[in-house]
Structures are given as C-alpha cells and as structure tokens.
C-alpha cells in the first residue's frame, strides 16, 4: 500500500467518524449496491467545513517557484476544469468562497506544474450552495472524458454530497504527484 | 374609496366613440398554433428556461421554465399525449434547504402546467443536458438518469402519472430510448447496456454488450443520435460507432472513419456540444468539426461536414455564420443596418458553432448554435443555404430539441 | 357616469362574481383599509384566463391604419412600458404568451396612435408565472412616475393579483380614448 | 468494491516526496477579510445574487443569493450585529406554487446563513430595488415595504429574530430610515410620511408633512440620499428637495435648482437609476446628468456633476468611462491589450452611467454603474480621477450598496 492509499483510507475513516457510522455506511452502501464506480471520498462531511482566514490574492504563498495566476484560465492546475474559478469569486484555487461548501467528491485531472516540471493529480472540487458565481468562466478539457467515466468528467455537477447541489464555482486541489503525465498536453 | 378608482379612470379615459380603436379584451393568453415540423426548443441556462422557436419565421412561440440545475434540462415531448415534460429540481429556500425533484407536465398546446410527478431527488445534472431523460417509444414511460454520484434510472408512468421505481445501472450513464420498453446506456468499461422494462415499467432484464471502445484512448462522446433501432456515436478521434439495441444484447458494429488520413493529419476533429445530427429520410449525418489537438473535443467547430451514411463519405461542407456578431448586435442594441453593426460583425472573428440539430421532415432545416452566447442560425439542410438567425436566444446555452 | 365608469363598475362586479364575494371583498377591503390608491381592477379573476388561438404576427388585424410593429420598442403603445414585449415572447401586444397569466392590475400610460392621431389610455398588463422572457427589452418612460404614484409607475412588478408574482413580459392594451394628451411627447 | 476506490487513486497518484508541492487541505471555505471602508455590494438580477467587491483591488470577496423578485433586493447590513440581511421570495415550485417571503440572515464575516424570519408574502418588487427595506438606526428593527398593490410596512425585530407586525401606510411608499424607531415614506399626494415605532416595534404614530411637490408636473424621484436627520430628493426637473424627519412632522425645506437657466435651456436633466450620492464629510453631492427631454428621467447620464451642498454650486464634472467597452471585452474574452479590444472600446460609443454611490470615509471612492450591462468603474471621489473597472460584474443591474 502506498502512502496515498493509506491517506485515502484514513480519509474515509475520518469521514465515517464525522458523519456517524450509519450515515457513512449507508452512503457507501448505496454507491456499492449501485455498482457505480466509487468516487474518491474527501475527508469532508456533509455540512461540516472549516473556515479559514481570507487570503486576498487567492495565491498560495507556500508553493515553490512561479505557479502563475490562479485567477487565469491558463493557470496550470486548470488543465481539465469546466466552470467559474473560485479564485475570482472570493475563494482561492484551494478554498471555497465565504458561505459556500466544498463537495466531498470530485473529478480528477493530471496537470503539469511549470514551476517544477512535474505532473500532479488535481481534484476539481466544486463549491456549492449558492448560485453560479459567473466570473472567470474557464473550460479546458485536457483529459476530460464523457460522463459514463465520471471521475474524469468535468461536465458533471460535482455538488453531490454537499448539503445543496447548487453549483457556485470550482477549485483545483493538489492530491499528490501523478504517475501518468498530463494527457493531451 | 372605491369611487376613487372611478375618478382615476375618469381622469384619463373619455368615452370611446364608434370610429375609435375599440378597447382590448383583457386577461387573454394565447395557445400555440398548429405544430409544424420546423419548431425547435432552445435551452437557456441563465434565464433558466427553454424557448420554442419557429424555424421558418424565426419567431418565439412560448417558454417553459427549468429551474434548479447547472444547465438546462431541455423539454421532452409526447406527441401522442400532447404533453411536454421538464425535469425540475426545487429547494425549499431557493438554493438551500430540502431538495425535491419532479417531472413537470405541460399541455403541449397551452403550455399550462397540468401535472407533476415527484421522483427521487437525484436527477443527474450535467453541463451538456443531453440524454438525461427520455420518453420511451410508445410514450407510456419516461426514464430519468440519476447520478448521486452512484448511477440509477427512475421510471415514471406517464399514463397514471406516478413514479414506478428506480433501477440500479452498474457504472452506466445516460438514457437512449430504443423501443416502447427498452433503452440503452453507455458504460465506463467501454460497453453499452440494454435495459428492458416489463409492462408495469419495472426492470425486466439488463444485458451488456462486448466492449467496443477504449474509455481512455478513444472514447465515444455521449452526444449520440438515433437511427431506428441503432444509435450512432462519434469517438473523440473521429470514428463513427453504431450500436444496435433491437436484439437480446446490444450489438456494436465496426466503426468507420469520418476523416481521411490527410484530413486527420491536418488535425481535423469532431467536437462541440450537440455535435452530430442525423436526417434519417436522406441518410445524411451533420458533424461539427474543427482543427485542433487532443483535449479540444468540446471546442466550437469552424465547419459542419455533411456525410452520406450509405456511401460513408463527405458530400458537403457548411460554414456557420458569425453567431457572435448577431449576439453582440442585439445586446448592444445596435441597428442591424448600421455601419457599427457591419463593423462589429466584420471585426469580431466568427466563433463557430457547438451544436447542430436537423428537423425530421422532407424539407429539413438545420439549426446551429454557439454555446457561450446561445446564438443560433438556421440553414436549409439540403442546399446548405443560410436562411436566418434566431435572434435573442438569450445569453448562453447549446442544447436544442426538435419536438 | 360615463360609459367607461359603467364599464369599470361592471368589471369589478364581474370579478367579484368570479372569485367569490368573500375573496373579492377581502382584497378590496385590504386595499381600502390600507388607504392605498385603489388600482383599476380588470375583469380577470385570479387564475382564470381565456385561451385564444395564436396569431403569429402579434398584430391585431382589426386596428385601423398603420399601427407599426408591436415587436419594436418604438411602437406607439409602448410609450410608457418597461420590460420585455410579449409580442416577442409568444404572445402579442394584447395577449399573454402560452402558459402565462395576465395580472388583473396594471399601470396606465397615455400614448398617441399615429394611425388616427388620437391619444389612447393604455394598460400595461404584465404576464406572470414564468421567469423573465428576456427578449425585446424596452424601457420608455413618457408619463412614468415614481412608485408612490403606482398606477403611473412602470418600475413596479405588476404581477400582484396573479397566482404567481414572477414576471414574464408586458402587454399594452387599449382602454379607450384619453382625455389628456400623451405626456412628455 | 471499496478497493476499487483505492485502485482509482493508485492509477493516478504516486507517493509524494518531500520536495514536491504538498497535497492541499480539502473542505476549506474562506471567511471575509477585515472590513474596509471601500467595499461595495453590486446587485445582479440575472444571476440573482449580489457580489461584494473591494473597490481598492477590484476583486470579488463573496456573494449572497437573492431569489424570487424582478430585480435585486440588495443586502442590508447591521455593523453592530455583524449581520447581513436579504429580503427573499420563494415559491414552492420555483416560479409557481405557494409564495413565502423571508428575511434571510447572514453572518457578515462568513456569509453563512445563520437565520431567517418569515414575513408576509407581499414584499414590494420594484425594478430599481432601492429603499424597499432598511435597518433602523440602532439596528434593532428591520422594516420592509410591502405593495400588493396596497401599501404597508412589515417590521422585524432583529434581536429576537421574529416578525413584529404590519403597519398600514396610507398611499405612501418606500422606507427611509430616520432614527432608531422612525422612518420616512413618500406619498402619492406629494407629501412625506413619518412613521414612529414604540420599543416593541409596533406603530406609535404617523405624521404627514405639508405637500411639497407636484406628483404630475415635477415629482421627486424615490432615489433619495440621507443627510443625518434629513433626506435629499431630486425632482425630475432638477430641483433638490430636503425633508427633515427629526421633528414631530416631516418638514420639507425650500428646494434649490441643480441647474442654471442656461443649463436648463440646454436640456440638462438629472436621471438614471441610483442617480444621486452624498459624501457627508465633505458635503459633496454627486448627480448623474444627461441632456434630454421630459420622459428621459431613467436614461443613462453622460456626466456626473459634483456639487458643494453648502455653496449650492457645481464644483466639478466627472465623465464616466466607456462601461460598454469593458463589458464586451470580458464577455467576448478578448485580450485587454489587443488591437480588437482597443477597437471595441473605441468604436462602441460610451453608454454613460445610471448609478453612483460614494464611500463614507475620508478618502472616498466613487462607484459608477451602467444598468443594461451591470458594468462598473471606480473613481477617486475627491480628485475625480478614474482608478479602475470592476470587471465581470455580471450581465445587468444598477443598484449598489456601501455596507
């Protein structure tokens, strides 16, 4: 088992603790019974979100090198995004705007970071519970697949699992290094 | 105090003499005219409605609302029942609170809401809005694709107007009607699924095809078109697949290439949104194409290529008009005959088109549409002659439905 | 009493019959108790509307002379309108689009008909119960007054009295000849 | 099956070494930064929300929804309670079904919904969205203007978060806060009304002023600005009225002309939407003006005239930037530095502006906005220097609120 496997498992356990065993198992059970591809579950329970201080620029000061501007569609992490950039909506590329909730499931892209030349796996978690932000619309489809392959599909409203499935904007979180290179670059 | 009302009237209105324009009747609402073959519904996600246009006049005939989802879930029509259906999602507090999903039933002639059927609150919400629901062939059952993210299908009996039940569909998505009691789906392992219902709309059986495409290297797009018992799907790399759903299991046919090697070397590629359309009487396939690399499968097309399905060859090329020009002209309120309008339409490069649909009759119209502006145009589908714009289609949207 | 007075009174009586004495009186009573300016009540009861066949052009063939094009903002009846023209939304200048309901109250304008050179009183009844039509937006304010003078105010959502107060588009009905001329022409 | 999830992860993710970019935390939502004096809320009726912009950076800080009405009912703020209020209307079926109205209560720092108070379902719905609700001075009571079409006012106790009651207000409209327990209204007979509440928020008394304007020949617009105990209203013909609400009855003051005879002869006229703004510390009034005839009182202004209220004279003229150019540039996605962008901004005539607001601090910003596009710009309110655009404000809307 790799570190990320352990992390995913730990995340699932953590989530189970938060929403209570019954709720978690019933959701997981439904997914399994449905025979659907089970989606990566993030350690965020329904309606529970941490609030963090605002970082006006939307930029992450911890990132090495020149990452570029996360309010631009061309920003490297956006290689498979489809929606409004949370960086332009009062959030950042990694956090939801005030009052919105990050959904616990998402689709995945693989994008190359120009700052270190490496390929990263990106989770495009949607922020939910408020109407469309309407700013910085960005649609890039490198690696995007049709919705029968959902965890690679940016056309899906990925607010499933949030308390409201109304879509507001999309983030772009780093999961870790990717084994495959950015497709269709 | 009621006298004051009369005084108000007195102040502004005098007696009408016989020769004057007579007072209008109040409280009237129109019904739709007789259906023609040249109607089209256009989704508008910002206004959250779909508008019915007459392709011959370019005029709007009516509107149905569509709330609660990312983008439009376009209307579905039962000609036999004279009803139009819209899948809707409502929250108790607008964008918050308890979610409830419904099939809203409209009278197709008056566009009045005449009924609703509550369904499980998991109706799929997908940007392109296509094949998320369907009326099956004898128009008794309506099927709804659910994604929560686990996939399933809800079945509604249109005759009794009640929810029948939910069918779990292993890793398969979308609903492609294929008979009175059957529909197809596409699956994440490169297969197609056939689902058969019994007379009560309950699951009778499911059957899976052999794998016929590779989800990673060359997937087929979900934007299929129906050809009788068969469904046609184009792959990202430009191969046309067909799946026959008439038998016990779905039967994929050998794909053929929509591009020559030379065209492929020049980076010609299918893509857009509702990017293929089929006119069955003439066996013509319309395909939105552009030049671009991998990952551009949702970009607008610069051309529409017309194929003879029998001969498997391209027989015509249609160029979409500059849909951005007409959009900008309308929203800026610039006179269409003005110098500014001309400059605008000339200056702004044509953005191409994302979607095509064609009417089913013998003198078919081809509708083309641009996703980011929602702007649309109408062609004679036989000659390829541009006929007119559909003006003020809204501010966005790509899906179109011929009712 | 002029003919129009009798007509208004008859209209009120007709409406009272349709919605039932209690409903009508309670609404009227509320308006009177509120001391508000009582608005002209059209003979349309809540939720009751007649459906008429569609007239594709939106033009009224009974009108004398050249009235102009009711899908244009410049059309004479629109001199005090603010909204989307029902003629562009599947209705006409005198009828609501399919599936929408004409509200029983409205604001009033006075516009000159170029076909006969006379000034007419116009009721701008809104069509309601479906979201904004979004076509042929037209805002002309000849004679428009602030909302404390409501029956001359085109800024008000005039869907009060309809079963849903969601605004779709606006019509322009002739009440009769006006005694005053078109203001601010 | 759960193992499949791990396999999915395995396929795309390898172990992260120490030197790589670390994984991001998930599930985070930001809170707003410390409030500055240069924030502004902009209504957007098509997206049905209001967005909070920072006038210094031009960036968006957050959004609140606002559903169910013709145009925005902008947010109202209690600084003391740290709460933001939005009047909302919901229907059981989106645009149909039972109507319910609420004051939705947001935490001003997190923009989370922290409460709601149901009010009678008659909240006024008026295109301009201004003064339909107000927080009274000590921030205990919120008042809502109702129009059904009979006028009344609903009172909400913000401390106990409950609806107190409804006050009938004879032929008078809008709510202009004028103290902890009092507000003004404008009436259809050319008077102003003062409504006083008791400590429980119930009606204590009403008092009507002498008539001070003619509703037909020269009405005042509803777009008043507050100057302490007084409210300033401009009339259609360009006279500035003031009404003092501090006494037992509202006291209108003699109006003065915003235009010289020569300017009036040249057809200069006030108008737009939120067409006047007051900076109290410097006693400067900003007024959107244009040249036009009667009936153009809602047209966009080509200039903003700045008055010294004490001296009652014009001291400055500010010209709004071409707000249509920046709007078109953003929706067409044209590079701001491109030749096309330059042509677009140059070619399309400036549409002027409908609205102005000014911040309350010593280094005030002036925000200007164009109704049909929603586009907005920022000026230094003292020098009149243009500072920046607020980009992507939406697709329409004119109302602005300094929280």
Q: Is C66 a catalytic residue?
A: no
Neighbouring chains of A at 3+ CB pairs under 8 Å are B, D
CA B264 centroid distance within chain: 29
Secondary structure class of C91 (helix, strand, coil): coil
Contact criterion met (CB below 8 Å) for B121 and B134: no
Q: Residue B190 has which token pair?
A: 């490169």
Residue C84's CB: how many other CB atoms inside 10 A? 24
CA A65, A66, A69, A73 dihedral sign is negative
Contact criterion met (CB below 8 Å) for D108 and D84: yes
Comparing A67 with A23, the larger pLDDT belongs to A67
Contact criterion met (CB below 8 Å) for C99 and B105: no
C62-76: pLDDT as tens digits? 454 567 899 999 999
Contact criterion met (CB below 8 Å) for B187 and B173: yes
C22-177: CATH number: 2.60.30.10
Chain B residues contacting A, CB < 8 Å?
Answer: 68-70, 89, 91, 95-97, 99, 124-128, 147-152, 168-174, 185-188, 215-216, 219-222, 293-298, 372
Contacts of C64 in chain B (CB under 8 A): 21
Comparing D294 with A29, the larger pLDDT belongs to D294
Phi then psi dihedrals of residue C139, to 5 deg = -130, 105
- The greatest distance separating any two alpha carbons of chain D, rounded to the nearest whole angstrom, comes to 84
Least CB–CB distance from B28: residue in C39, C95, C133: C95
Contact of chains A and C by CB distance (3 or more pairs under 8 angstroms): no
Q: Is C102's pLDDT higher than 60? A: yes
pLDDT computed for residue B19 by the predictor: 59
Phi then psi dihedrals of residue A75, to 5 deg = -50, 140
Q: Kind of pairing, strands B28-30 and C50-52?
A: parallel
Comparing B3 with C79, the larger pLDDT belongs to C79
Contacts of B96 in chain D (CB under 8 A): 113
Taking only residues 99 to 158 of chain C, the set having a beta carbon closer than 8 angstroms to any beta carbon of chain D reads: 105, 129-131, 137, 139-150, 154-157
pLDDT computed for residue D273 by the predictor: 96
Q: Residue B219 has which token pair?
A: 């997937």
Give the residue from B96, B53, B91 showing the smallest Cα distance to B74: B53
pLDDT computed for residue B8 by the predictor: 40
pLDDT computed for residue B383 by the predictor: 97
Contact criterion met (CB below 8 Å) for C155 and C147: yes
Contact criterion met (CB below 8 Å) for B260 and B278: no
Q: Is C107 a catalytic residue?
A: yes
Query: Packing angle between helix A21-33 and helix A3-19, nearest 10 degrees?
Result: 120
Alpha carbon of A160: minimum distance to chain B alpha carbons (Å): 6
* CA contacts within 13 A on the Cβ side of D288: 32
Exposure of C71 by Cβ count < 10 A (0-12 exposed, 13-18 middle, 19+ buried)?
Answer: buried
Comparing D28 with C13, the larger pLDDT belongs to D28
pLDDT computed for residue C45 by the predictor: 28
Distance CA C174, CA D273 (A): 29
**Cα separations in angstroms, B138 against B157, B227, C61:** 12, 17, 42
Q: Do A94 and D33 touch (CB under 8 A)?
A: no
Residue D312's CB: how many other CB atoms inside 10 A? 12
Contact criterion met (CB below 8 Å) for C129 and C77: no
Distance CA D220, CA D213 (A): 7
CA A127 centroid distance within chain: 9
Phi then psi dihedrals of residue B84, to 5 deg = -125, 135
A30-42: pLDDT as tens digits? 332 333 333 333 3
DSSP per residue, chain A: --HHHHHHHHHHHHHHHHH-HHHHHHHHHHHHHTTPPPPPPPS--TT--EEE---TT---TTS-S----TTSTTSGGGTT-EEEBGGGTTS-SSSBPTT-EE-S--EEEEEEETTTTEEEEEEEPEEESS----SSEEE--TT---TTSGGG-TTB-TTTTSSS--EEEE--EEEEEBSSPPTT-
Contact criterion met (CB below 8 Å) for D174 and D158: no
Confidence of residue C4 (pLDDT cuts 50, 70, 90): very low
Give the residue from A142, A154, A157 showing the smallest Cα distance to B132: A157
pLDDT computed for residue C28 by the predictor: 30
B128-172: pLDDT as tens digits? 899 999 999 999 999 999 998 889 999 999 999 999 999 999 899
Phi then psi dihedrals of residue A165, to 5 deg = -95, 20
Residue D266's CB: how many other CB atoms inside 10 A? 11
DSSP per residue, B18-79: TTSPPPPP-SEEE------TTEEEEEETTTTEEEEEETTT--EEEEEE--SSSS----EEET
Q: Choosing among A176, A178, A179, A182, which should be mutated to test the D contact, i.e. which has the most D CBs within 10 A?
A: A176
Contact criterion met (CB below 8 Å) for C150 and C156: yes
Comparing C16 with C81, the larger pLDDT belongs to C81
Alpha carbon of D122: minimum distance to chain C alpha carbons (Å): 9
Alpha carbon of B161: minimum distance to chain D alpha carbons (Å): 18
Confidence of residue B207 (pLDDT cuts 50, 70, 90): very high
Contact criterion met (CB below 8 Å) for A98 and D32: yes
Q: Is A163's pLDDT higher than 90? A: yes
Of C82, C119, C126, C144, the active-site residue reads C126
C125-140: pLDDT as tens digits? 999 999 999 999 999 9
Exposure of D383 by Cβ count < 10 A (0-12 exposed, 13-18 middle, 19+ buried)?
Answer: exposed
pLDDT computed for residue A65 by the predictor: 52
B344-389: pLDDT as tens digits? 667 677 889 999 999 999 999 999 999 988 999 999 999 999 999 9
pLDDT computed for residue C65 by the predictor: 52
Phi then psi dihedrals of residue B148, to 5 deg = -135, 20
Q: Is A143's pLDDT higher than 90? A: yes
Contact criterion met (CB below 8 Å) for A174 and D21: yes
Q: Residue B198 has which token pair?
A: 């019994």
* CA contacts within 13 A on the Cβ side of B199: 0
* Residue B79, C-beta contacts closer than 8 angstroms, at least 6 positions apart: B108, B139, B403
Contacts of A160 in chain B (CB under 8 A): 147-149
Comparing B3 with D143, the larger pLDDT belongs to D143
Q: Do A173 and D2 touch (CB under 8 A)?
A: no
Alpha carbon of C112: minimum distance to chain D alpha carbons (Å): 15
Distance CA A175, CA A39 (A): 14
pLDDT computed for residue D30 by the predictor: 97
Predicted confidence pLDDT, tens digits, chain D (403 residues): 333 333 344 344 444 444 567 889 999 999 999 999 999 999 999 999 999 999 999 999 999 999 878 777 899 999 999 999 999 999 999 999 999 999 999 999 999 999 999 999 999 999 889 999 999 999 999 999 999 888 999 999 999 999 999 999 989 999 999 999 999 999 999 999 999 999 999 999 999 999 999 999 999 999 999 999 999 999 999 999 999 999 999 999 999 999 999 999 999 999 999 999 999 999 999 999 999 999 999 999 999 999 999 999 999 999 998 888 778 777 777 777 777 777 766 767 788 999 999 999 999 999 999 998 899 999 999 999 999 999 999 988 999 999 9
Ordered by start, the domain boundaries in chain A are 22-177
Percent pLDDT > 70 in chain A is 62
Comparing B276 with D321, the larger pLDDT belongs to B276
Contact criterion met (CB below 8 Å) for B206 and B186: no
What mean pLDDT do residues A135-143 have? Answer: 94
Neighbouring chains of C at 3+ CB pairs under 8 Å are B, D
Q: Choosing among D332, D333, D372, which should be mutated to test the B contact, i.e. which has the most B CBs within 10 A?
A: D332
Confidence of residue A67 (pLDDT cuts 50, 70, 90): confident
Contacts of D96 in chain C (CB under 8 A): 129, 163-164, 166
B90-131: pLDDT as tens digits? 999 999 999 999 999 999 999 999 999 999 999 999 988 999
Q: Do D67 and B92 touch (CB under 8 A)?
A: no
């Amino acid at each position: 088992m790799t570190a990320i496997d352990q992390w995913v498992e730990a995340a699932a356990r953590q989530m189970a603790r938060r929403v209570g065993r019954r709720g978690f198992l019933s959701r997981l059970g439904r997914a399994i019974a449905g025979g659907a591809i089970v989606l990566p579950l993030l350690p965020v329970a329904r309606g529970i979100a941490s609030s963090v201080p605002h970082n006006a620029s939307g930029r992450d000061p911890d990132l090495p090198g020149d990452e570029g501007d996360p309010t631009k569609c061309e920003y490297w992490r956006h290689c498979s995004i489809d929606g409004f950039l949370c960086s332009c909506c009062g959030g950042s590329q990694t956090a939801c705007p005030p009052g919105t909730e990050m959904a616990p499931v998402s689709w995945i892209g693989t994008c190359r970071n120009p700052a270190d030349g490496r390929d990263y796996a990106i989770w495009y978690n949607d922020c939910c519970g408020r109407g469309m932000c309407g700013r910085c619309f960005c649609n890039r489809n490198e690696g995007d697949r049709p919705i029968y392959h959902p965890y690679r599909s940016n056309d899906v409203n990925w607010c499933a699992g949030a308390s409201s499935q109304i879509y507001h904007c999309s983030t772009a979180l780093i999961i870790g290094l990717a084994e495959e290179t950015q497709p269709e670059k | 105090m009621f006298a004051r009302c009369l005084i108000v009237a007195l102040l502004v209105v005098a007696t009408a003499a016989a020769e004057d324009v007579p007072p209008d009747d109040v409280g009237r609402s129109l019904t739709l005219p007789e259906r023609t073959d040249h109607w089209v519904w256009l989704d508008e996600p910002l206004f959250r409605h779909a508008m019915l246009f007459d392709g011959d006049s370019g005029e709007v005939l009516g509107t149905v609302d569509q709330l609660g989802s990312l983008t439009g879930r376009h209307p579905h029509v039962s000609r036999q029942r004279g009803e139009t259906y819209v899948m809707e999602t409502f929250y108790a507090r607008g964008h918050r609170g308890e979610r409830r999903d419904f099939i809203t039933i409209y009278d197709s002639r008056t566009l009045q809401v005449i009924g609703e059927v509550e369904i499980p609150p998991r109706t799929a919400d997908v940007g392109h809005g296509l094949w998320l629901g369907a009326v099956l062939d004898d128009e008794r059952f309506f099927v709804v694709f659910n994604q929560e993210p686990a996939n399933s299908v809800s079945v509604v009996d249109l005759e009794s107007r009640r929810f029948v039940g939910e069918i779990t569909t292993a890793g398969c998505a979308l609903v492609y009607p294929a008979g009175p009691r059957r529909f197809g789906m596409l699956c994440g392992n490169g297969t197609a699924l056939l689902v058969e219902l019994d007379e009560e709309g309950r699951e009778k059986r499911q059957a899976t095809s052999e794998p016929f495409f590779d989800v990673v290297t060359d997937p087929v797009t979900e934007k299929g078109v129906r050809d009788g018992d068969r469904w046609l799907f184009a792959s990202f790399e430009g191969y046309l697949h067909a799946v026959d759903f008439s038998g016990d299991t779905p039967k994929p046919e050998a794909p053929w290439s929509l591009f020559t090697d030379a065209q492929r070397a020049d980076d010609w590629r299918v893509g857009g949104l509702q990017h293929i359309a089929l006119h069955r009487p003439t066996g013509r396939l319309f395909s939105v194409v552009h030049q671009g690399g991998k990952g551009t499968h949702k970009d607008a097309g610069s051309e529409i290529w017309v194929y003879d399905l029998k001969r498997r060859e391209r027989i015509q090329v249609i160029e979409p008009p500059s849909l951005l020009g007409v959009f900008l002209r309308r929203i800026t309120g610039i006179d269409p005959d003005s110098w500014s309008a001309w400059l605008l339409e000339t200056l702004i490069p044509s953005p191409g088109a994302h979607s095509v649909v064609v009417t089913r009759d013998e003198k078919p119209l081809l509708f083309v549409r641009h996703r980011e502006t929602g702007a649309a145009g109408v062609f004679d589908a036989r000659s390829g002659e541009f006929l007119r714009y559909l003006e003020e289609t809204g501010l966005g949207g790509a899906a179109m439905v011929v009712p």
